[in-house]
C-alpha cells in the first residue's frame, strides 16, 4: 500500500446506546486509488464500521468510544457527516435509501449541493453521472420509489458521486440484486477507480464477487477483524469461510 | 338556490383561513416529523408582536419586517436550544417538547406585550360585495388570495429551489439526507423560519377577524381536522382540507343546524375528521409509503 493512506483507522470501538458494544479493535487502511472490501456475515459489524467513518453513527445513538479515525491525515472521530462529504468522503447506505418521493434526477441533485456549485457545474456533474449510468437518464423523471432495485442502487451510488468524492463507503451494493446487475455495478466501481481516481471501501456479504474486484480485503467476525490480506490470500485462507459458518 | 351557493362559497372562503394555519404544521411535520403543537402560539405571538408594534406607531411594512425578524430569531432559538438537544428522540418526546414550547411562547408574548385584547385593522373592509350575483365577504376574498399566493410561492420553493428539494429529501429519509451531506440543522432553521412566516400571515388574518387575544392560539384546534382530512404531509391537502371543512361546517350549520338546535359548526369538523380517519387514515393527500423492493 502507498505511503500515506487516504483513510486509516486505528483500534476503534463503537458503542450504541451507551451499552451495546458493536465493534472493537478495528484497524484498517484504504490507500488512494484502491478498492478495499470489508467482508463478514450478518451482524459482524460492517455497517457500523462504515457509519463510524462517515459520522453517521452519531445519528443512531452510537459513539466511537475508543480509537482514532484519520482521513487525509486528519482525525475525524467527531466530524459531522456534511463536513466529511465536503472533504470528499461519502457513504452509500445499505438498502439504498433513495428519496422515494423525489424523481431520479432530484435524487442525484441532492448529492451535488454540498459544494454550492453553479447551475452549469451542477448540470455538468449530472451529465457525468448519466455517463456512468446511462439507464438513469432514461428514467430521470420517474419517482425513485417506483424504479427497480438495480436502478435504485445506481441512483444511490450516482447521488454519492455527485459530490465528487475521493472515497466512497459502499454498504452492500449487491444486496437483493440479480448477478448481472451486481457485475455491472462492480464494473463501474472498477472504472471509477482506474480512470477517475475514486477509492472505495465496500462492505459485502457476497465475498465471491467482491474479491474479484478488490485490491485488499478485511474479514470481520463478531465485531473484530479476524483476517486481512490481498484478495488472493483471503481466498486461500480458511478464515473467510469459517467466519460465515461461525466456526 | 342562490342562497345555497352563497353559503357554500362563503364557507369555502372561510375554510382557507383554516388552511393557512394547517400549512404551518405541514411544513414542520414534513421536515422533521414533529407535530408542532406550538404553531398556534407562534400564530398568536406573531400577531401580538405585530399589533404591538403598530400601536407604537411603526408603519405597517416596518412592523411586518420586524415581526418577521423576531420570528426568525425565535426559530433560531428553538432550533439551537430545543430541537438540537433532542435529535433522535422519539416523536412523542418531541411532541411533548413543542407542547412545553407553546406555553413558553405564550408566556413570553404575555410578558412582552401584556394580556389585553388588541384590535387589528388591515385596512380591508368586511362589507360584503357582489360577485356573479352572490354576496361575498371582501375580507374572505382577500384572505383566499393571500393563501393562494402563499401556496404558489411554497410550491415553487419546494420544487424549484435547492433548499426546497433538500427539504423534501429530509422529509423522505433523514438518514440518507445526512449521508449525502445535507446539513439538517440549517434546514430545520429554515423550515421553522418559513413556518414562522406562515404563522405571521395566519396571525394577521385571524387577528383581524377575531381580534388579537390569547384565544388566537386555539386556532390550532381548528387546523386539526383540516390536517386529518388533507393529510399531514401535503400543502395541497391543507387547502383542500380547509375548503372541505369550511364549506361543510357552514352548510351543516345552515341546513342541518335548525333540526339539532344549532351550534353544530363547532363540533361538525371533528365528526367529519373522524369519519375520514376511518376511511382514509393517511388523509386525502397524505403520502403513503411506496411499497416496492
Ligand atoms: N442502531 C443500533 N443500535 C443498537 N445496536 C445496533 C445498531 N446498529 C447495529 N447494532 C448492532 O451492532 C452489531 C453490528 O451490526 P452491523 O449492522 O454493523 O452489522 P453488519 O455486518 O452490517 O450486518 P448486516 O450484514 O446484517 O448488514 C449487531 O449486533 C447489531 O445488532
Ligand atoms: Mg450492514
Shortest alpha-carbon distance between residue A93 and chain B (Å) = 7
Q: Above 50 in pLDDT, residue B262?
A: yes
**B249 inside domain:** no
Between residues B71 and B282, which one has the greater pLDDT? B71
Retrieve residue B204's grid coordinates: 394577521
CA B89 to chain centre: 25
Q: What is the pLDDT of residue A86?
A: 97
Enclosing domain of residue B181? 2-149+163-217
Minimal Cβ distance to B182: which of A97, A110, A143: A110
**pLDDT category of residue A3 using cuts at 50, 70 and 90:** low
**pLDDT category of residue A8 using cuts at 50, 70 and 90:** very high
Which residue is associated with the grid cell 465496500?
Answer: A202
Q: What is the pLDDT of residue B220?
A: 79
Question: Is the CA virtual torsion B202, B204, B207, B213 positive or negative?
Answer: positive
The chain B residue lying nearest A51, using CA atoms, is B179
Q: What is the pLDDT of residue A26?
A: 96
Minimal Cβ distance to B180: which of A101, A160, A176: A160
Alpha-carbon distances, residue B76 vs B35, B38, B71, B187, B217 (angstroms)? 18, 15, 9, 11, 21
**B210 inside domain:** yes
State the total domains in chain B: 1
Distance (Å, whole) CA A13 – CA B184 = 26
**B195 inside domain:** yes
**B258 inside domain:** no
Retrieve residue A220's grid coordinates: 470481520
**B100 inside domain:** yes
Strands of A224-230's sheet in order across: A89-92, A167-171, A199-204, A35-39, A216-221, A224-230
User: Per-residue pLDDT averaged across B85-89, rounded?
Assistant: 74
User: Per-residue pLDDT averaged across A63-68, rounded?
Assistant: 95
Q: Above 70 in pLDDT, residue B6?
A: yes
Q: What is the pLDDT of residue A174?
A: 94
Distance (Å, whole) CA A34 – CA A26 = 19
Q: What percentage of chain B exceeds 70 in pLDDT? A: 96
Residues 6+ apart with CB under 8 A from A126: A105, A108, A109, A112, A162
* DSSP symbol at A143: B
Contact A14, A229 (CB under 8 A): no
Q: Above 90 in pLDDT, residue B138?
A: no
What average pLDDT does the structure give for chain B?
Answer: 85
Q: What is the pLDDT of residue B236?
A: 85
Hey, are the CB atoms on B290 and A98 less than 8 Å from each other?
no
Q: What percentage of chain B exceeds 90 in pLDDT? A: 17
Residues 6+ apart with CB under 8 A from A183: A209
Most confident stretch, A103-112, A234-243, B88-97, B203-212:
A103-112
**B41 inside domain:** yes
Between residues B279 and B97, which one has the greater pLDDT? B97
Helix, strand, or coil (residue A94): coil
Alpha-carbon distances, residue B148 vs A120, B16, B17, B200, B236 (angstroms)? 33, 9, 11, 16, 11
Single out the residue of A240, A95, A89, A90 nearest to residue A174, CA to CA. A95
Task: List residues, by chain if needed, whose CB lies under 5 Å from ion ligand 2.
Answer: A 46-47, 94
pLDDT, tens digit, 9 for 90 and up, residues B213-238:
888 877 778 888 998 888 888 888 88
Which residues pair with residue B129 across a beta bridge? B136
Retrieve residue B237's grid coordinates: 391537502
| Least confident segment among A155-159, A196-200, B278-282 | B278-282
Single out the residue of A34, A30, A28 nearest to residue A6, CA to CA. A30
**B110 inside domain:** yes
**Total Cβ atoms within 10 A of residue A2:** 10
What average pLDDT does the structure give for chain A?
Answer: 93
Which residue is associated with the grid cell 376574498?
Answer: B141
Contact A67, A13 (CB under 8 A): yes
CB contacts, 8 Å: A100 with chain B: 172-173, 289-290
Where, residue-wise, is CATH 3.40.50.300 in chain A? 1-88+166-247
Q: Above 50 in pLDDT, residue B15?
A: yes
Which residues' Cβ are closer than 6 Å to ligand 1? Answer: A 16-17, 20, 22, 40, 42-48, 60, 94, 205
Best mutation site among A79, A89, A101 for testing chain B: the one with the most B CBs within 10 Å?
A: A101
Question: Is the CA virtual torsion A60, A61, A65, A68 positive or negative?
Answer: positive
**Domain A1-88+166-247 indexed as CATH 3.40.50.300:** yes
Distance (Å, whole) CA B28 – CA B75 = 11
**pLDDT category of residue A244 using cuts at 50, 70 and 90:** low
Contact B250, B43 (CB under 8 A): no
Single out the residue of B82, B51, B81, B83 nearest to residue B67, CA to CA. B51
Residues 6+ apart with CB under 8 A from A96: A149, A152, A153, A155, A156
**pLDDT category of residue A112 using cuts at 50, 70 and 90:** very high
Helix, strand, or coil (residue A14): strand
Q: Above 70 in pLDDT, residue A241?
A: no
Predicted TM-score (pTM) of the model is 0.87
| Least confident segment among A221-235, B46-60, B194-208, B256-270 | B256-270
Which residue is associated with the grid cell 464500521?
Answer: A49
Q: Above 80 in pLDDT, residue B211?
A: yes
Q: What is the pLDDT of residue B114?
A: 82
Q: What is the pLDDT of residue A63?
A: 93
3-state helix/strand/coil string of chain B: CHHHHHHHHHHHHHHHHHHHHHHHHHHHHHHHCCCCCCHHHHHHHHHHHHHHHHHCCCCHHHHHHHHHHHHHHHHHHHHHHCHHHHCCCCHHHHHHHHHHHHHHHHHHHHHHHCCCCECCCCCCCCCEEEECCEEEEHHHHHHHHHHHHHHHHHHHHHHHCHHHHHHHHHHHCHHHHHHCCCCHHHHHHHHHHHHHHHHHHHHHHHHHHHCECHHHHHHHHHHHHHHHHHCCCCHHHHHHHHHHHHHHHHHHHHHHHHHHCCCHHHCHHHHHHHHHHHHCCCCCCCCCCCCCC
Contact B24, B220 (CB under 8 A): no
pLDDT, tens digit, 9 for 90 and up, residues A67-108:
999 999 999 999 999 999 999 999 999 999 999 999 999 999
Distance (Å, whole) CA B148 – CA B156 = 13
**B56 inside domain:** yes
CB contacts, 8 Å: A101 with chain B: 168, 171-172, 287, 290
The chain A residue lying nearest B233, using CA atoms, is A101
Complex confidence, ipTM: 0.93
Q: What is the pLDDT of residue B293?
A: 39
Which residues pair with residue B118 across a beta bridge? B212
Amino acid at each position: 500500500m502507498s505511503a500515506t493512506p487516504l483513510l486509516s483507522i486505528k483500534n476503534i470501538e463503537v458503542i450504541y446506546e451507551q451499552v451495546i458494544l458493536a465493534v472493537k479493535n478495528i484497524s484498517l487502511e484504504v490507500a488512494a486509488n484502491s478498492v478495499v472490501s470489508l467482508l463478514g456475515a450478518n451482524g459482524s459489524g460492517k455497517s457500523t464500521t462504515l457509519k463510524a467513518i462517515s459520522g453517521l453513527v452519531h445519528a443512531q445513538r452510537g459513539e466511537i468510544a475508543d480509537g482514532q479515525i484519520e482521513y487525509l491525515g486528519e482525525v475525524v472521530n467527531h466530524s459531522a457527516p456534511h463536513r466529511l462529504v465536503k472533504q470528499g468522503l461519502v457513504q452509500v447506505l445499505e438498502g439504498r435509501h433513495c428519496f422515494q418521493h423525489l424523481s431520479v434526477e432530484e435524487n442525484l441533485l441532492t448529492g451535488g449541493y454540498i459544494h454550492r456549485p453553479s447551475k452549469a457545474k451542477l448540470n455538468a456533474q449530472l451529465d457525468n453521472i448519466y455517463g456512468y449510468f446511462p439507464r438513469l437518464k432514461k428514467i430521470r423523471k420517474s419517482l425513485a420509489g417506483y424504479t427497480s432495485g438495480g436502478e435504485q442502487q445506481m441512483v444511490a451510488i450516482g447521488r454519492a458521486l455527485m459530490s465528487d468524492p475521493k472515497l466512497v463507503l459502499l454498504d452492500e451494493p449487491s444486496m437483493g440484486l440479480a448477478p448481472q446487475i451486481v457485475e455491472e455495478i462492480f464494473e463501474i466501481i472498477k472504472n471509477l477507480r482506474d480512470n477517475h481516481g475514486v477509492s472505495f471501501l465496500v462492505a459485502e456479504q457476497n465475498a465471491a464477487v467482491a474479491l474479484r474486484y478488490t485490491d485488499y480485503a478485511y474479514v470481520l467476525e463478531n465485531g473484530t477483524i479476524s483476517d486481512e490480506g490481498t484478495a488472493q490470500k483471503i481466498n486461500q485462507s480458511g478464515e473467510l469461510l469459517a467466519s460465515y459458518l461461525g466456526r | 338556490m342562490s342562497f345555497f351557493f352563497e353559503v357554500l362559497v362563503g364557507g369555502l372562503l372561510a375554510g382557507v383561513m383554516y388552511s393557512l394555519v394547517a400549512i404551518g404544521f405541514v411544513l414542520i411535520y414534513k421536515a422533521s416529523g414533529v407535530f408542532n403543537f406550538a404553531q398556534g402560539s407562534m400564530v398568536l405571538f406573531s400577531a401580538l408582536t405585530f399589533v404591538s408594534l403598530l400601536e407604537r406607531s411603526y408603519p405597517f411594512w416596518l412592523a411586518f419586517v420586524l415581526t418577521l425578524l423576531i420570528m426568525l430569531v425565535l426559530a433560531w432559538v428553538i432550533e439551537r436550544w430545543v430541537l438540537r438537544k433532542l435529535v433522535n428522540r422519539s416523536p412523542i418526546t418531541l411532541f411533548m417538547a413543542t407542547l412545553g414550547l407553546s406555553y413558553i411562547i405564550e408566556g413570553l408574548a404575555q410578558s412582552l406585550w401584556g394580556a389585553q385584547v388588541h384590535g387589528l385593522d388591515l385596512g380591508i373592509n368586511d362589507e360584503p360585495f357582489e360577485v356573479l350575483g352572490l354576496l361575498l365577504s371582501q375580507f374572505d376574498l382577500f384572505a383566499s388570495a393571500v393563501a393562494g399566493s402563499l401556496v404558489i410561492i411554497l410550491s415553487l420553493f419546494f420544487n424549484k429551489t435547492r433548499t426546497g428539494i433538500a427539504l423534501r429529501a429530509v422529509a423522505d429519509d433523514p438518514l440518507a439526507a445526512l449521508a449525502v451531506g445535507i446539513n439538517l440543522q440549517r434546514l430545520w432553521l429554515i423550515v421553522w423560519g418559513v413556518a414562522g412566516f406562515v404563522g405571521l400571515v395566519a396571525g394577521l388574518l385571524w387577528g383581524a377577524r377575531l381580534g388579537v387575544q390569547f384565544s388566537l392560539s386555539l386556532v390550532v384546534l381548528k387546523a386539526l381536522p383540516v390536517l386529518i382530512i388533507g393529510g399531514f404531509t401535503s400543502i395541497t391537502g391543507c387547502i383542500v382540507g380547509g375548503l372541505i371543512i369550511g364549506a361543510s361546517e357552514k352548510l351543516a350549520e345552515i341546513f342541518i343546524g335548525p333540526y339539532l338546535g344549532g351550534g353544530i359548526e363547532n363540533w361538525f369538523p371533528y365528526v367529519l375528521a373522524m369519519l375520514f380517519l376511518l376511511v382514509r387514515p393517511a388523509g386525502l393527500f397524505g403520502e403513503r409509503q411506496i411499497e416496492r423492493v
